[in-house]
Amino acid sequence: MTSSTPPGPPPAGPAPEYLESGGGGPLTPGPPRPGRRRLVVIGIGGGLALGVAAAAAWAATWYFADGPQAAEALPADTIAYAGLTLDPSGEQKLDALRTLDKFPTVSDAFDLDGDLRDIDIKERIFEFVLTDAACEGLDYADDIEPWLGDRVALALVADVDDQPQPVAAIEVTDEAAAEDGLSAFRECAGGEDDFGGWVIDDGWAVLADSEDFATEVARATRDGSLADDEDFRSWTERAGDPGIVTLYAAPAAGAYLGRALEDIGQQGFGMPMGQVSAYDDAPSSVDWAIGSAFADFQGMAAVVRFDDGALEVEIAGGPNGAGRVTGESAAGSALVESLPSDTAAAFGTGWEPGWFDAVTGAIGGDEFFDPMAMLEEFAATYGLDLPDDAETLLGEATAVAVGPDFDPDRFLSEGDTAGLPLGIKVEGDTAGIEEVLGKLRAGLLPEEQALLESDSEGDVVAVGPDADYRAALLEDGDLGGSETYRDVVREDDASSVLFVDLNAFEALFSSDVFGEDDDVLRDVEPLAGLGLITWTDDDVSHTVLRITTD
């Protein structure tokens, strides 16, 4: 399994032997313990422990994607997967470390002083994870380094009760040393009840909630690995170039996620389950809408990569319904690019004819929460004719813009909109747009009407409280030509674009909003820009998030 070739079917003859936790011969697996949902506490050199205990904060910082290689150690019917390499080599490693070294909190936590080429990432991870752990007897050089390979995977695999269970696969270079190291970690974690179990097979340690389930996973992999699964290969390829993290959700994951969200929805938005069922035992339309949203899930993959001083996340998935709202037109991104070149933040999107019905058709409701009834009440209050007025108001494309002199303190604390460099640029039927704006203004108080003041020129309407900023929006600006924008938005045909010039908001992080936190200020200073774009191509939805540094 240490090669890039997936394992074939099991050979004829006796069943393969597995080195299970505790040593010994081949296991005779029993059924997994039902109902156990705990995440296995995994510590392999800090690699897996970091993946579980610190994923939210650090996974995107230190783990490096290995494409399909770690997927070779997991079965083809794996529900969800994260493939990682703990210590990459070459320019990718240096680019990542150079970028991360710009952030003082990260640099201090992982001791990135000195020549970055000499850093042993696995050792730094291990030391970071065990800083606050009660495992004083564990030593990286003695207990971890002799056996820890470079590749690791975290996954969800269904058990005999069709419940997803956490599983990990770690490449090992010395199986006997791995057995000793894992045993030391289990002792540190408090025993099997807290740590789970494992088997070691053909260069991989497979860890799960129990030894029995780990053995079942290893045997299922011999019948067909995730690396050779057609859906896995297709979606990971569509997610673009490999990077620091590769994530995958199988088509079957939609059913599991929909079921989990339905369970949450049936709680009645915080109401006890019995209280909801006392009114209606049948599934509500909210439950139906949640479940149906995942009924046609076709799978997805995501890659996190470093690229020339930037962190980039690219996602590819099946049609998600956004195409019926924003379409495949690039009108939204074109409108954003026509904003003033000093725009601090913007969001723009195009609109597909009939988008209003597509949105409202996906909205569920019940006796406790009925969004459609609220929308109808709003329309009646302002005399709107839906869906026509809604589609007229937003035109063919809409862009929301914030200028460089935006004062968050004044806006958030005082609600003062005078001279506020905030506005909306709409491309469409200007006469129709102005008519709908008139209906909305008529229902507002005089001091509120300033927010919806408008000017128009050609097929463009500018809406906002400040006349000078509205005039700037009506001009054909050159945001699309600015260096910061071009560095975060690299797709010319995006259907929607979110852009933030992070340098323009440094004052926000030094304001009372964030309490003037020195650590926040130090880590924000290296940031330059943020871009989030979406588009649909051949029934594949694409999303790219890119964050750049100075």
**Tens of pLDDT, residues 344-355:** 999 999 999 999
Q: Is the pLDDT of residue 37 over 60?
A: no
DSSP 412: I
pLDDT averaged over every residue in the chain:
79
Mean predicted confidence (pLDDT) in 495-522 = 76
Mean predicted confidence (pLDDT) in 365-383 = 83
CA distance 527 to 521: 10
Give pLDDT, residue 92: 64
Picking from 91, 83, 154, 150, the residue whose alpha carbon sits closest to that of residue 120 is 150
- DSSP strand pairing (204-208 vs 80-85): unpaired
The secondary structure element, H or E, covering residue 166 is strand 164-172
Amino acid present at 56: A
Q: Is 233 helix (H, G, I), strand (E, B) or coil?
A: helix
Going by pLDDT thresholds of 50, 70 and 90, the confidence category of residue 215 is very high
Give pLDDT, residue 9: 39
The tokens for 336 are 């954003």
DSSP 225: B
Going by pLDDT thresholds of 50, 70 and 90, the confidence category of residue 495 is very high
Give pLDDT, residue 288: 47
The secondary structure element, H or E, covering residue 390 is helix 388-394
What is the maximum alpha-carbon separation in the chain?
86
Give pLDDT, residue 507: 66
The tokens for 31 are 């059924």
pLDDT tens-digit map of 77-87: 999 999 887 76
Give pLDDT, residue 472: 97
Q: Is the pLDDT of residue 530 over 90?
A: yes
Surface-to-core class of residue 283, CB atoms within 10 Å of its CB (0-12 exposed, 13-18 middle, 19+ buried): middle
Poorest-pLDDT segment among 64-68, 137-141, 299-303: 64-68
DSSP 481: G
Spell out a b/e string for 120-144, using b for 16 or more CB atoms within 10 Å of the CB, else e.
Answer: ebbbbbbebbbeeeebeebebeebb
pLDDT tens-digit map of 384-426: 999 999 999 999 999 999 998 887 667 666 666 777 899 999 9
| CA distances for 266 relative to 116, 370, 372, angstroms | 51, 15, 19
CB 146 within 8 A of CB 200: no
Q: Is the pLDDT of residue 2 over 70?
A: no
Spell out a b/e string for 66-97, using b for 16 or more CB atoms within 10 Å of the CB, else e.
Answer: bbbbbbbbbbbebbbbbbbbbbbeeebbebbb
Q: What does the domain layout of the chain look like in residue ranges?
A: 36-249, 253-292, 323-533
Mean predicted confidence (pLDDT) in 212-224 = 96
Picking from 85, 58, 59, 53, the residue whose alpha carbon sits closest to that of residue 169 is 85
The residue whose two tokens read 């894992």 is: 182
Cis peptide before 387 (omega within 30 of 0): yes
Q: Is the pLDDT of residue 94 over 80?
A: no
The tokens for 420 are 């506020």
Give pLDDT, residue 367: 64
HEC-encoded secondary structure of 38-88? CCCCCCHHHHHHHHHHCHHHHHHHHCECCCCCHHHHCECCCCEEEEEECCC
CA distance 211 to 495: 49
**Proportion of the chain above pLDDT 90, given as a percent:** 45
Give pLDDT, residue 347: 98
CA distance 296 to 291: 10
Higher pLDDT, 323 or 7: 323
User: Within a 10 A sphere around the Cβ of 372, how many other Cβ atoms?
Assistant: 13
Q: Could you tell me if residue 51 is left (phi over 0), alpha (psi between -120 and 50 degrees) or otherwise beta?
A: alpha
pLDDT tens-digit map of 104-122: 888 887 777 777 677 777 8
Crossing angle for the helix pair 371-382 and 430-442, to the nearest 10 degrees:
90
pLDDT tens-digit map of 169-205: 999 999 999 999 999 888 877 665 667 899 998 899 9
Handedness of CA 95, 96, 97, 103 (dihedral sign): positive
Q: Is the pLDDT of residue 371 over 50?
A: yes
The tokens for 299 are 């799978």
Chain centroid to Cα 428, Å, comes to 33
- DSSP strand pairing (164-172 vs 496-501): unpaired
Higher pLDDT, 293 or 326: 326
CB 95 within 8 A of CB 306: yes
Handedness of CA 130, 131, 137, 142 (dihedral sign): positive
Give me the DSSP letters along 93-162: HHHHHHHHTTSHHHHHHTT--S-GGG--HHHHHHHHHTSSSS-TT--IIIIITTTEEEEEEEEEEE-TTS
The tokens for 170 are 């770690």
The two counts, helices (H) then strands (E), for the chain are: 24, 17
CA distance 224 to 228: 7
Picking from 216, 219, 210, the residue whose alpha carbon sits closest to that of residue 160 is 216
Q: Is the pLDDT of residue 523 over 50?
A: yes
CB 474 within 8 A of CB 459: no
Crossing angle for the helix pair 285-292 and 253-265, to the nearest 10 degrees:
160
Give pLDDT, residue 517: 60
Handedness of CA 88, 89, 90, 96 (dihedral sign): positive
DSSP 494: -
CA distance 37 to 35: 6
